[in-house]
Amino acid sequence: MHVTLLLPGALLPREVVDALAEPLAQTALAALLARADLVGDSETAAPAHLAWLAEHLFQQAMPLATAPYAYAALAGAAPARKVLWHADPVHLEVARDHLVVTPLAAPPSDDEASALIDAANTLAAAMEARLIRAADRWFLQSGRPWDLDTEPLSVALGRPVPDALPRGADTGRWNRLLTEIQMTWHTHPVNEAREARGEPTINSLWLHGGGTWSPLKRGAYGAVLADAPEWRGAAHAAAVPSAPADAAPDDGALIVRDALLAPRLMQDWHGWIDAVRRLDERIATLSRSSALDLVLAGGGTVRRLRSRPSDRLKFWRAHTLHQVLSE
């Protein structure tokens, strides 16, 4: 069996690899990479894992309109001819002299989400827009396309907000609406209750990945195994089966395991090691039973390796952690 495993957030700064060398050395990932065949690197100015998925899954140029595909995977179908954006609820945190985008530890409860969305939609209606929800994901539906160049939330995490704000002709429209929503949410009972419990308030939305749904070309993969609904939705749009990342793969499957990405972006290195350890059993099983094409993604680098079950016997091949994990 032959599968492709994409690990966003797997490549680290060299000094971080040094600091994590001891705990990393005990993992199945390190053992696999030490014996794998290094195929090569490619550099991109775009977020590396998104650039790779744009080419190999969506078969489109960046930026990706991921929102309609995520919604379609969660709701069963995308609204016909409607523009959808991810509108992720986030907490903006003060850090020195700027604000930083931080993720919520857990999605808001159904009651919290309904109350905040209702309050926001009272304001959004004036701009022919509304927030909608599918499972625990939030989306903004607009009556017409908005000219906005946005950063995915996965790229904005931990960065100063001014460095990642939307750009484009409709920036003023979105900023006006967002400011009104933030002011309304600031004193909303939902956030007052969260603050009383010591939880981060939901004080902003992160808009990204907007566009309309359209069919995608069928690519090289026979199935897509991923937890993020945008990748499963892209598979459906290409008439390819999809399943959660932990499902048993068939020959020719693409597996996307993105647990390393958030701790990598937040520079939470203890969390990154914990995420590697949670992947260990899955990686060990795959390496014993499958021919693996490994795709390790960092900020602007994609590193490709090839592993075969017999590689564990090739003791003369021993890549260092620097060779395989440093960006």
Please tell me the predicted confidence (pLDDT) of residue 105. 84
Residue 193 CB: number of other CB atoms within 10 A? 12
Prior bond of 145 cis (ω within 30°) = no
Low-confidence ranges of the chain (pLDDT < 70): 97, 310-317
CA–CA distance, 159 with 268 (Å, rounded to integer)? 14
Please tell me the predicted confidence (pLDDT) of residue 219. 86
Instruction: Return phi, psi of residue 225, to 5°.
Output: -110, 115
Structure tokens of 306? 């090839």
| DSSP for residue 56 | I
Please tell me the predicted confidence (pLDDT) of residue 177. 96
Please tell me the predicted confidence (pLDDT) of residue 317. 57
Please tell me the predicted confidence (pLDDT) of residue 315. 53
CA–CA distance, 222 with 70 (Å, rounded to integer)? 19
Collapse the DSSP code of 152 into the 3-class scheme (helix H, G, I; strand E, B; otherwise coil) and give the result. Answer: coil
Collapse the DSSP code of 170 into the 3-class scheme (helix H, G, I; strand E, B; otherwise coil) and give the result. Answer: coil
Please tell me the predicted confidence (pLDDT) of residue 294. 96
